[in-house]
Chain A
Amino acid sequence: MAKKEYAFYPGCSSQLRASAANYMVSVNSMCKVLDIKLTEIPDWNCCGASIGYAGSGELARHVLNARNFALSEQHLPGQDIVATCAACWLGARETKEKLAASSTLLADTQEALKEAGLTYKGEAEIRHMVEVLIEDFGYEELAKPVVKPLEGIKFAGYVGCQTNRPFGIAGESFENPMYLDKLVETLGGEAVTDYDQKVTCCGGALAFSEPEKSQKQIKDIVESAYDHGADMIVTPCPLCQANVEIYQSEINKRYGTKFNMPVTYYSQLMTVAYGGSVKEAGLDGQVIRARKLEEIAVKVVKK
């Protein structure tokens, strides 16, 4: 019997061989250690993400999210829905709140859901994986399984936008959230606490459509990490991770910089600190290798 059980909403980028596949690998390893059972919501669909708005309009977007809720309530009753992707979490949370606030919107959503043979009951809570770690476990509990403290690595905690705004993690400030730094310290790493690009937007989907504008954002994010002596960036968001990691080579071309800063997930840090291998931490899925983390991962722990 697992200690904690959740209905899991992985989102499109976390699927096999998709852009955040390594995030998923590390989340699975981390959950194994913490005795968390994530059960994928059967036949879940895309949340529409933040950029689908032109085609979707308001109701269709909410209906997409409501379908996932309804499936979760039907197959995994009583479980909170947990998302690892920032945009999935935000979109789903917004839908949940909107449906609770408007009986008209709820009735319209139910009418559309009926076409797929579903009904939404409004029971399941929507939570982010980080929320679960902090609220259901807490830093002390998360420190217990640490066998390889991340000593000697300096992390720039890049929280980004959507795990921070508009909902954020309970009790944290929008301007200077501390949870990621605290998480790094819990794992024995050193957090760059005055990292000034902590909550800067990476450009989101506009990194694809209008790259020259968003690359300026990404440049600032990476540059500041270097300026503060960070060895790598750590983030809770799959789009932040992808944007900030894979466009560094483009930015080097555009601005003549020599960026080569690894961008990792909190779950990769946790997996390594908990004794996981390079593979279990999904570190083989980095475009820019996180060598310092790999060195710790291959170290043999003396008992």
Chain B
Amino acid sequence: MGDLNVEAVERYRNNFLKEVEERVEEGHWVKMCMQCGVCSGSCPFGPHWAHPPQELFMMIRAGRREEVLTSDSMWMCTSCYNCVVRCPRQLPITQIMHGLATYAHRLGLAPKNQPTRKFSVLFWNNCTRTGRVNELKLTLGLYFSDGFIAGIKKAWALRHIGLGLLLAKRLNPFELIKGHGCKDKKGIHAMLKKAYEIENRRKGFSS
């Protein structure tokens, strides 16, 4: 991860906007932002962002690479698309936030203990392992991501929620042993491996 970052710094020296345009999903839209602030004002998690989207866009253009990529702001996106439908210039802001988060994660710069970053990685690994989400393993994985003791404490504190779902037959304890899954796991894995390969090539990660 560290090497990827060094390589990126070398390649895009002093031109963070270009780096974002080439490597971040929908990054080419960043320069279209007119700084009206509707996105930031519309965001349900707005008060929790150190740098709301409007500010991130300005910081990208100002070349504040380190500050943007190490920020935990874009991880606050709940994917509610309020910013997207309200943006007067129709920027795909949600996708850009996800894109920035993904890029920072790939470079190893995203904050290690940001809980939504952890959950996002956990979710992706969970659903691609068998092709479908194993809700029980996903939840327990999140609870235990800070260690065994912390996990037990969290699971205990939220036990009545699990029990409620169990009684409503919306949680299956047997998912721990055998969960839902696709038949063609091999095909899915091969397909995803290829997809990463192609994307790395397209975004210049492999060179």
Contact = CB atoms under 8 A, between A and B. Distances in A.
> At the interface, is chain B mostly helix, strand, loop or mixed?
helix
A1 interface: no
Given A55-B125, A67-B191, A250-B161, A287 B168 contact: yes
A136 interface: no
Interface string B112-147: 000111111101110110011101000100100000
Contacts of A108: 195, 198-199, 202
B134 to A, nearest CB: 9
Given A209-B119, A210-B115, A249-B161, A19 B170 contact: yes
A213 B80 contact: no
A239 to B, nearest CB: 10
A201 B78 contact: yes
A13 B135 contact: yes
B102 A57 contact: yes
Interface string B72-115: 00001011111011100000001000110110011000100001
Interface string B46-57: 001000000000
B101 A246 contact: no
B199 A58 contact: yes
A200 B82 CA distance: 9
Interface stretch (B9-17, B32-40, B63-71, B181-189): B181-189
Nearest to A165: B81
A208 interface: yes
A45 interface: yes
B169 A209 contact: no
Interface residues of A, number: 69
B201 to A, nearest CB: 9
Given A22-B170, A116-B187, A250-B161, A13 B194 contact: no
Nearest to B115: A209
A176 interface: no
B184 to A, nearest CB: 6
A54 interface: yes
Contacts of A51: 79, 116, 119-120, 123
B88 to A, nearest CB: 14
Contacts of A214: 78
B30 to A, nearest CB: 16
Given A49-B123, A55-B124, A287-B164, A19 B171 contact: yes
B192 A63 contact: yes
A171 interface: no
18 contacts: A12-B133, A43-B182, A45-B127, A45-B132, A49-B127, A52-B127, A54-B117, A55-B125, A59-B199, A67-B191, A115-B190, A162-B81, A166-B94, A201-B44, A204-B80, A206-B116, A213-B76, A247-B161
Given A208-B142, A213-B48, 7 more contacts: A12-B127, A43-B184, A51-B119, A55-B123, A115-B191, A200-B44, A213-B45
The 3 A-B pairs with the shortest beta carbon distances in the complex, nearest first, are A55-B124, A116-B187, A201-B80
